[in-house]
Amino acid sequence: MSYNLLKGKRGIIFGALDANSIAWKTAERVHEEGGTFVLTNAPIALRMGTINELAEKTGSQVIPADATKIEDLENLVEKAMEVLGGKIDFVLHSIGMSVNVRKGNAYTSQNYDYTHKGWDVSAVSFHKTMSVLYNKDAMTEWGSIVALTYMAAQRVFPDYNDMADNKAYLESIARSFGYFFGRDKNVRVNTISQSPTPTTAGQGVKGFDGFIAYAEKMSPLGNATAEDCANYTIAMFSDLTKRVTLQNLFNDGGFSNMGVSTAVMDKFTE
């Protein structure tokens, strides 16, 4: 169902890899709601994924950018404004990567070069992106910037590893940069803390299937899907949420406020 919520709005969507990605689903929904955008990902991810399909389907251009490199981001923002014909109304940062997780390193014995790389890609890239948008004055007034995060930023999920620290850092950047973006440009910055979602990135985490099943049993509304996250993001990009900023917004079926559920207790009293 379309409400034309983003009619005439222009944006940049980071991180669509394949049809399972939250960024991919968000791009499809933005398109349905009348928004136009450029798609971007790191050159290696572009080779691995199927983003050209999405670009074709939504009439979008793909502009490669390594989000850890300022010059790539400057090029991206300049080209995006050129292609879209004006300033940017919305940005989705949907980037996360831990080399320690990929290589199977325990949280207690990290390779710190890997830690640094993951931190740069998953968190500092958000600061760099906003820094370029801010300094180029590339956002429209009442524009909206959203980054995707996860509750491991606040609570312990042992196998989420150093990604938990990256997400905590990401959420802090959203608040800190969000203050300046709000004060100086009337732009809002928020993070959406999503249920565990079976994306290509998510499935890299050990014991992921068991964890999804647990979260499903804990949440009164069940897990939020990638589609649910896309819809929430649309609401955050729309003019309906123009005074919402500096928030970490849970889209998790209620999981974040649960202590225990009857469904989980039943498992233990069998």
The domains of the chain are located at 10-268
Could you confirm whether 3 is annotated as catalytic? no
Identify the pLDDT of residue 119: 98
Mean pLDDT by 10 residues, the chain (270 residues): 96 96 98 98 92 97 98 98 98 97 96 98 98 98 98 95 98 99 98 93 79 95 98 98 98 98 93
Q: Is 22 flagged in the annotation as binding?
A: yes
Active site residue 160: yes
Q: For the segment 138-185, what is each residue's pLDDT rounded down to a tens digit? A: 999 999 999 999 999 999 999 999 999 999 999 999 999 999 999 999
- Is 0.95 topped by the overall pTM? yes
Is 261 marked as a binding-site residue? no
Which residue in 3, 134, 160, 232 is the catalytic one?
Answer: 160
pLDDT tens digits, 203-235: 777 788 888 999 999 999 999 999 999 999 999
Indicate which residue of 114, 150, 214, 232 is catalytic.
150
CB within 8 Å of 21: residues ≥ 6 apart: 15, 49, 94, 199, 200, 201, 226
Whether residue 206 is annotated as binding a ligand: the answer is no
CATH number of 10-268: 3.40.50.720
**CA-only gyration radius of the chain, Å:** 18
